[in-house]
Amino acid sequence: MELLPRRVGPLLPLPSGECGCTPGLLCRESGEDGYFRAREQERRVNITQQLVRGPSSFIPVGQIVQEGAQTDGRHLFLEAFVSTGRVEHTTMVMGLHPEYLARFWKTQYHLLHMDGPLPFPDRHYVAIMAAARHQCSYLVNLHMSEFLQVGGNPEWLHGLQCAPQKLRNLNEINKILAHRPWLVTKEHIEALLKTEQSSWSLAELIHALVLLTHYHSLASFVFGCGINPESDQEGGRPPSPRNCESTNQEDMINGSSGRDAMQEVEALMERMKLLQLEEEVASQEEMETRFEKEKAESSFVAPADLADHALTPSILCFVEDPEFGYQDFTRRGEQTPPTFRAQDYTWEDHGYSLINRLLPEVGQLLDEKFQVVYNLTYHTMAMHSGVDTSMLRRAIWNYIHCVFGIRYDDYDYGEVNQLLERSLKVYIKTVACYPEKTNKRMYTGFWRHFRHSEKVHVNLLLLEARMQAALLYALRAITRYMT
């Protein structure tokens, strides 16, 4: 049996095997069964404590347990516990889709704990900087703890002004990638690579950019699923009253609202069938017109409350220019930035190879993660089975890219309006662009008769589509710098 990869930095204390092996590792002498038995009670206590409040303020604990029991995610929870000493709330919610969780967890572990160009404390500090842009105290607190565990300088946690200039130089590209990635240029890349005394190598910068986009997008998942702070997080922001202002989803699907929700499912199924039967192929000009219309209409899709919320001091100290936020790609009365034509710079032909060349294995891990979530299906939709959901998944993915100004020449954006109800569009845009504004009413307001696991799947599509969009802008800027 191969040893499990050991986490860099101290694990929670675990008893040694009978043979005196290193804690936190499986060994041939003690055997897998003995090792797992020795930790079973500790694992149960740990997970039970986490479940007292539940990992999500949007999803009842019973639903996570019930829907999770239908999957094969338990061994992934155990692997996460063995390697990190805990099962984080994000892991428990993602565990509703174990095929995806396996790829996500492997990618994140590689970015944070395996050999790479960035020192280990710097990796967690970059994660803190990224999460702070979206006021995500859950991730900020988590990585402050991880930063100290891998030997980070406690002084840096007093704020960006205490960090080395090299890390502070990331602030500009951090805020742009978080809120308006289409503004990234080769000049931003050049400024980081050619700064005297605190310049980045290209490999280091690629590593940092992947971490930044990973944690911007993970913040979207945290807010989109209402993830609660871990029980051991000091000062973690609990779910706000905004997140608790609505009734449970189960209450909404009873009575007349339940009948309405069922009718919505049937209507969506019918629209999907009609679109699949249509033989008319729109011209390129018409396809472009439909994209421009969808892009323009997205500016009217936004959460009702866009008022600024004061950042807590523990978050504000890691944020420069806190007023900088998302603005619609198409703004009335302003010159529109050029549309990013996906065929001109694709992940498959350009982004993947650039990352893999400078950061071995990471390109492959990211590609597997993108592919798994995009193709993930159980052929079910609410109460229906045997459903081809590819059209719906594609509409969600392409709409997310649309709000970031990315257009696919071969996609008819008329399908977006046919398949995505307004409440779903509001939810998608909020989670992708203003994740800290997400509340429970938005979560319960769309797909009212769908399973929670299906809504979590929407959040996984959001996470990955958002990350890929930002990465494409950043990698295109690097390519232009190199050429």
85: left (phi over 0), alpha (psi -120 to 50) or beta: left
Question: In this structure, are residues 87 and 80 in contact, taking their beta carbons and an 8 Å threshold?
Answer: yes
DSSP state of 300: G
DSSP letters, 307-353, are: ---PPPHHHHTT-SSTT-----SS-TTSPPPPPEEGGGS-IIIIIHH
Q: How many CB atoms lie within 10 A of CB 368?
A: 15
Give the C-alpha separation, 304 to 308, whole Å. Answer: 12
Ramachandran angles phi, psi of 227, nearest 5°? -65, 130
Return the active site residues.
136
- Asked whether the CA dihedral 327, 328, 331, 336 is positive or negative, the reply is positive
* Angle in degrees, CA 406, 465, 431, rounded to 5: 100
Give the C-alpha separation, 401 to 418, whole Å. Answer: 17
> For 470, how many CA atoms within 13 A lie in the half-sphere containing its CB?
30
Question: In this structure, are residues 148 and 158 in contact, taking their beta carbons and an 8 Å threshold?
Answer: no
Give the C-alpha separation, 328 to 336, whole Å. Answer: 10
Tokens of 143: 């990585």
DSSP letters, 162-177, are: GS-HHHHTTHHHHHHH
DSSP state of 58: S
Question: In this structure, are residues 189 and 205 in contact, taking their beta carbons and an 8 Å threshold?
Answer: yes
Fill in the amino acid letter for 172.
E
Give the C-alpha separation, 390 to 396, whole Å. Answer: 10
Give the C-alpha separation, 194 to 94, whole Å. Answer: 40
